[in-house]
Amino acid sequence: MSRVVIDTSVWIRYLIRPSAAIRTLVEDLWLGDSIQVVSAPELQTELQDVLARPNIQRFITRAAGKVLLETLLLKATFLPALGDIPAFTRDPKDDKFIACALAGSACYIITTDADLLVLGTVNRVQIVTPEGFLTAFAAAQSTTQG
C-alpha cells in the first residue's frame, strides 16, 4: 500500500470544490483503503489553523472541517512531533511536509503548492499533483496486476 503525505492545500480543495482527481484520491483511494495517509501533529495543526480562517469558513462549514479532522485522526498513520525540521524548500512552512514524508517512509507528497512541486523529488519522496499521483498509482497497479 502506498504511503503518502497530503498537503493542506489538497484537503482544503477537497472541502471547497474538489477536482475529479482530488475526489478520487480522497474518497476512492484513501477512504477505500488503497493508500495510507501519513501525518504528524504539525500538519494537523496547520490544517486546523487554515480551517479556522474566516476567509475559508465562508466556503467550508465547521461540521465539514470537523468531519475531515476526525477522519484523519481515525484513518491516518500519525507520527510523533517532527521536532527540529531542516530546510528543504523556499517556503519554510512547507518543510514539515517533506520532514513528515521522510520520517513516515512515504513515497509521495501530494500537493498543489508550487513551492513543493518545483522540487520534484527529495531523497526518495516524489512530490506530485493529485493528477500526477493518480497516473503513477494507475501505472503501479497495472504493473503489479499484469
At the top level of CATH, the class of 2-145 is alpha beta
Q: Which of 64-73, 114-123, 135-144 has the lowest mean pLDDT?
A: 135-144
Give residue 146's pLDDT.
Answer: 59
Helix (H, G, I), strand (E, B) or coil at 132: helix
* Tens-digit pLDDT profile for residues 23-34: 999 999 999 999
> For residue 91, what is its C-alpha cell?
517556503
For the chain, give the mean pLDDT: 96
> For residue 83, what is its C-alpha cell?
521536532
Give residue 100's pLDDT.
Answer: 99
Give residue 142's pLDDT.
Answer: 85
Identify the residue whose cell numbers are 482527481.
21
User: Any residues with CB less than 8 A from the CB of 44 and at least 6 apart, and which?
Assistant: 69, 72, 73, 78
Average pLDDT over residues 74-96: 96
pLDDT at 105 over 90: yes
Give residue 144's pLDDT.
Answer: 73
Average pLDDT over residues 108-126: 97
Distance of CA 49 to the CA centre of its chain: 16
Give residue 69's pLDDT.
Answer: 97
Nearest Cα neighbor of 90 from 117, 125, 123 is 117
Average pLDDT over residues 70-78: 98
CB 50 within 8 A of CB 10: no
Q: How confident is the model at residue 5 (pLDDT cuts 50, 70, 90)?
A: very high
Give residue 86's pLDDT.
Answer: 94
pLDDT at 60 over 70: yes
Enumerate the domain spans of the chain: 2-145
Q: How confident is the model at residue 143 (pLDDT cuts 50, 70, 90)?
A: confident
Distance of CA 77 to the CA centre of its chain: 12
